[in-house]
Amino acid sequence: MSMDVRDLGGRPVIIGGGIAGLMTALHLAPEPVLLLSRSPLGADSSSAWAQGGLAASLGDDDDPALHLADTLAAGDGLCDAQAAGPIVYGAPAAIEYLACLGVRFDRTPTGALRLGLEAAHSRRRIVHAGGDGSGREIMRALVAAMRSMPTIEVVEGFEARRLAMEGGRIAGVVASGPTGPVFVATARVVLATGGIGGLFHDSTNPLGSCGQGLALAAHAGAVLADMEFIQFHPTALDGSNRPMTLISEAVRGEGAVIVDETGRRFLDGVPGAELAPRDIVARAVWKHLADGHRVFLDVREKQGATFGRQFPTIASACGRAGIDPTCDLIPIRPAQHYHMGGVAVDLGGRTSVPGLWACGEVASTGLHGANRLASNSLTEAVVCARWVAESVAGTPARRTKPAFAEDYPSPDPLSVRPFSSRALGIVRDGEGLQAAARALLPLAEGTHAVSDPAAVGLMIAIAVLQRQESRGAHYRTDFPHQAPDARRSKITLDDALGAARELANSPALERAM
């Protein structure tokens, strides 16, 4: 039966088929809901690629208060404790809910959940499924649950390109599918579009994750938060493949060490060594590479023969690259991995635009602050999806007028990558940022394929310029210390365009920003 997407208007529309979109749809059921996904469900999403798992305080020696303390410490003074508390306290129940939905978590012979350790966690609290294939198993179960829910209409192969507004509120979604552009009239939209890795040369994200949800929200006038905070993972498999294969922190949690070509463990003197917070390990690896060394992960002594059983996804990626981790060193380099910033939301996922919600990586709840604690993002998406669904369900449907669907180009971040990779990477400086902002401004001002990715890059560049300190994952060589009284940052597209235009007209302006 052929179905016209326009006929499905009026219901809440969820944009994105990763864990955040699927969980929100499942929680909204049996309310009729329309889920738009650019790709077949589960494909092209970071969720399906997640290796480590979900963080939750489930061990006998653990407590949500300890999970909260670790989260706040990783966030380096910028987490919103009012948001972080409810999320980490909600984590154990969320894991139970996933198990009820059919997720087959890894268990001990007695049936208890097997708990892994990751960097900057003071307890073993990472729940896995299928070893290092956690995301794949979670998505398998969620997609099956979705398919059995008749009130959830899934429309694959449609990309949301713009949000329509009426009197300052959401009035619909302009999407493009196989038959061209369509307008779906709705007063309630949930963004669940994932991250920004596609803006960088070196990233672990699917290439299509280029911040389109941020661009949709920004064009609708939404406030975005903490845009400057981007996490770089220290251990991506170094090679020519893009996106890069992640080598999960769990590998270091099980004893792998980082060495250089001489076999030296150059992180030896760093508190926590290989399990120090991600930003510290990533910067150390980056610097060692910049100094002309090669850097490797060595699993031979601690994991050796068990590695393939414990980390089958990573082992087969190494195999494809001609590396046998039982006897070879694994070459690594840091790669963009996760965006702490996003559309500013409250715990119900409400943005500053009436009728617009956000959930998952595209949202910024305040949980992560300046640096995400490993495996807190899947947890955040699962916990918050329930509250987002409750908020959407509690907001009465409003009739909106059908409109003409203008055709907007599909985003293409290719020509943004050189600027973002150079200026918005692990180590930043004012000069490089100003150059990037000037270069991105004219690209962001048009309506071309590059414009939305450029607008996202520009908002990040301005937020980075305005944070004149170093904190968490954000490091500036010209402001290497923490500033007193630091706060979370907020920015709109107009703010970013205005700041970039001033910069373009006055080269010495950065000091005043």
Ligand X SMILES: Cc1cc2nc3c(=O)[nH]c(=O)nc-3n(C[C@H](O)[C@H](O)[C@H](O)COP(=O)(O)OP(=O)(O)OC[C@H]3O[C@@H](n4cnc5c(N)ncnc54)[C@H](O)[C@@H]3O)c2cc1C
Catalytic residue annotation: 278
Site string for ligand X, 212-231 (x = CB under 6 A): xx------------------
**Contact residue for ligand X among 364, 377, 451, 470 (CB under 6 A):** 377
Task: Give residues with Cβ within 8 angstroms of 75, minimum separation 6.
Answer: 84, 367, 368, 369, 370, 371, 372, 373, 472
- Tell the smallest beta-carbon distance from residue 47 to ligand X (Å): 3
Among 12, 85, 208, 334, binds ligand X (CB under 6 A): 208
DSSP 8-class letter at 6: G
Minimum CB separation of residue 379 from ligand X in Å reads 6
Angle between helices 64-74 and 81-100 (to 10 degrees): 120
Q: Least Å distance between CB 296 and ligand X?
A: 20
Give the pair of three-digit tokens for residue 357: 């919600």
**Nearest residue (CB) to ligand X, 154 versus 439:** 154
Number of residues binding to ligand X, judged by CB under 6 A: 45
Which strand ranges, in their side-by-side order, compose the sheet holding 180-185? Answer: 159-166, 169-177, 180-185
Q: Do 283 and 427 contact (CB within 8 A), yes or no? A: yes
Binding to ligand X in span 241-270, by CB under 6 A: 246
Q: Using CB under 6 A, which of the segments 49-57, 96-104, 147-155, 294-302 binds ligand X? A: 49-57
Tell me which of 24, 46, 351, 434 binds ligand X, using CB under 6 A. Answer: 46
Cα 131–chain centre separation: 21
Output 220 or 259, the one with its CB closest to ligand X. 220
3-state secondary structure of 364: strand
**Torsion sign across C-alpha atoms 368, 77, 476, 438:** positive
276 to 335, contacts with ligand X by CB under 6 A? none
CA dist list (Å): 20 to 27, 46, 135, 358: 11, 11, 12, 9
Give the dihedral sign, CA 158/160/161/163.
Answer: positive
378 binds ligand X (CB under 6 A): yes
Minimum distance from residue 160 beta carbon to ligand X (Å): 4
- Could you write out the three-class secondary structure of 322-353? CCCCCCCCEEEEEEEEEECCEEECCCCCECCC
Which range binds ligand X by CB under 6 A, 26-34, 46-54, 271-279, 295-303?
Answer: 46-54
Which of residues 85, 342, 360, 413 is near ligand X by CB under 6 A? 360
Q: Of the two residues 50 and 496, which places its CB atom closer to ligand X in the complex?
A: 50
Q: Which is nearer to ligand X, 201 or 265 (CB)?
A: 201
d(CA 468, CA 471): 10
Residue 53 in contact with ligand X, rule: CB under 6 A = yes
One symbol per residue from 381 to 420: x for binding ligand X (CB under 6 A), - otherwise; what is it?
Answer: x---------------------------------------
Among the listed residues 111, 114, 113, 126, the one whose alpha carbon sits nearest the alpha carbon of residue 50: 126
d(CA 234, CA 282): 4
Options 97, 338, 357, 408; binder of ligand X; rule CB under 6 A: 338
The residues of the shown chain that bind ligand X, judged by CB under 6 A, are 15-21, 36-39, 44-47, 49-54, 134-135, 159-160, 192-195, 204-205, 208-209, 212-213, 246, 338, 360-362, 375-378, 381
